[in-house]
């Protein structure tokens, strides 16, 4: 069994990483670290995860003595020096921050001065379903994608050569802001409310620009905050270069994702509850007859497929394990004819 440390295990994604690794049949959770919560057991901070390891102050040498690989769940900027220290000690690393998702120019335009720029070229983007699987297998450093780009890229990837432009209306639960930010968000500003934010340029659009650089079609990306704890829905509206029928689109998506264990094609638009606490992306694609636009709806759990479980999916590949291992029975559910729990009878006209 590969020994794994979770660095930054006191955040939402890091704590979930620790829980998934501890229950993983091919991995052994050997260390968890935190900054402000060091000295507590993880199950004191997150009782529901039932992980009893003590949260330690990060020390690269101590982690390297007990681990072969690490999942790093620090914020951007803080992650890069930690990743550098672990790689220098021979560990394989999946970084959940934005520090290694982009080229240096884009990173410094959207974020800040990079703390470990020499590592950027070594990092592989950790979304196996869009052509990165083989490079992830060979990598020592993998950058876990952001939650919004995960859903959006999976929704648009089969259309990349056919799209003239795309509009992405994406909505996420408040856990996407992270533990510290969520704690400062006043309940009354979120409850019974939906609002767009960062409409002049959300940082995650940089990943869309990076991954679709060769496709070259413009994307309008607008995120919204939902009054739910977790879950993400990306509704994508694509103007195609040529006329497509609904059957054309269904065949295109079926072919693109035929062998993908964590992409589920649905007969109707998905809801976020359909994929809660799974590593699945549930997709529905069709054509709006009135305009000829292709409509694609992608639902993920932002803490799972959008962060922690996707990081473990990447780690499985890096360690030579089965990609689906430790990620539950969801791995066998590729095709799903059942509609979302929201029926037309529940939706106001």
Render pLDDT for 190-228 as a digit per residue (tens, 0 to 9): 888 898 988 888 888 899 999 998 888 999 999 999 999
Residue ranges in the chain assigned as alpha helix (H):
12-22, 42-45, 60-66, 79-88, 104-110, 133-138, 147-156, 179-184, 187-190, 205-211, 246-256, 308-318
Report yes or no: 204 and 146 within 8 Å, Cβ to Cβ: yes
pLDDT top residue among 24 and 335: 24
pLDDT for 42 equals 97
Joined tokens for residue 109: 């335009």
Which tokens hold the place of 331?
Answer: 């791995």
Residues 6 or more apart in contact with residue 323 via CB below 8 angstroms? 128, 133, 261, 313, 316, 317, 331
Domain 2-122, second-level architecture: 3-Layer(aba) Sandwich (3.40)
> pLDDT over 70 for what percent of the chain?
91
Instruction: Tokens for 17, please give them.
Output: 């990483």
* CATH class of residue range 148-304+331-346: alpha beta
* Percent of the chain residues past pLDDT 90, beyond the cut: 82
Cα–Cα distance for residue pair 285/298, rounded to 1 Å: 9
Does pLDDT of 182 surpass 80? Answer: no
Task: Tell me the C-alpha distance between 131 and 259, whole Å.
Answer: 13
In the chain, where does the domain assigned CATH 3.40.50.720 lie?
A: 2-122
pLDDT of residue 344: 33
* Residue 19 CB neighbours (<10 A): 21
147 part of the active site: yes
- Judged against a pLDDT cut of 50, whether residue 342 lies above it is answered with no
The predicted structure's pLDDT at residue 177: 59
Catalytic option among 17, 147, 236, 281: 147
- Quote the pLDDT of residue 339: 40
- pLDDT digit string (tens) for 98-139? 999 999 999 999 999 999 999 999 999 999 999 999 999 999
Going by pLDDT thresholds of 50, 70 and 90, the confidence category of residue 311 is very high
Q: Where in the chain is the domain with CATH 3.30.360.10?
A: 148-304+331-346
The rounded mean pLDDT for the chain is 91
pLDDT at position 197: 87
pLDDT category of residue 178 using cuts at 50, 70 and 90? low
Q: How confident is the model at residue 237 (pLDDT cuts 50, 70, 90)?
A: very high
pTM above 0.95, yes or no: no
Average pLDDT over residues 161-178: 88
């Amino acid at each position: 069994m590969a020994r794994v440390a979770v660095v930054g295990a006191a955040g939402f994604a890091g704590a979930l990483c620790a829980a998934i690794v501890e229950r993983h049949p091919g991995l052994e959770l050997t260390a968890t670290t935190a900054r402000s919560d060091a000295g507590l057991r993880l199950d004191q901070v997150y009782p529901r995860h039932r992980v009893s390891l003590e949260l330690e102050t990060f020390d690269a040498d101590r982690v390297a003595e007990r681990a072969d690989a690490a999942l790093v769940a620090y914020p951007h900027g803080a992650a890069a020096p930690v990743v550098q220290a672990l790689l220098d000690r021979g560990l394989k690393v999946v970084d959940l921050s934005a520090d290694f998702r982009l080229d240096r120019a884009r990173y410094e335009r959207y974020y800040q001065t990079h703390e470990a720029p020499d590592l950027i070229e070594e990092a592989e983007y950790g979304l196996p379903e869009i052509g990165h699987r083989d490079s992830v297998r060979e990598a020592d450093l993998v950058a876990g994608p952001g939650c919004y780009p995960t859903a959006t890229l999976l929704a648009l990837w089969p259309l990349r050569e056919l799209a003239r432009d795309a509009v992405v209306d994406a909505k996420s639960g408040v856990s996407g802001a992270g533990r510290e930010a969520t704690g400062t968000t006043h309940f009354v500003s979120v409850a019974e409310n939906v609002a767009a934010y960062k409409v002049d340029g959300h940082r995650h659009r940089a990943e869309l620009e990076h991954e679709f650089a060769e496709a070259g079609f413009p994307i309008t990306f607008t995120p919204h905050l939902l009054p739910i704890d977790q879950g993400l829905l990306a509704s994508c509206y694509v103007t195609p270069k040529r006329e497509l029928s609904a059957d054309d689109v269904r065949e295109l998506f079926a072919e693109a994702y035929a062998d993908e264990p964590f992409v589920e094609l649905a007969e109707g638009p998905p809801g976020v509850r359909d994929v809660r606490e799974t590593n699945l992306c549930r997709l529905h694609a069709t054509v709006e007859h009135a305009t000829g636009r292709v409509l694609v709806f992608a639902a993920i759990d932002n803490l799972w497929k959008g962060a922690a479980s996707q990081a473990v999916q990447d780690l499985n590949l890096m360690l030579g394990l089965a990609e689906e291992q430790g990620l539950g029975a969801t791995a066998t559910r590729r095709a799903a004819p059942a509609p979302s729990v929201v029926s037309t009878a529940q939706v106001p006209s």
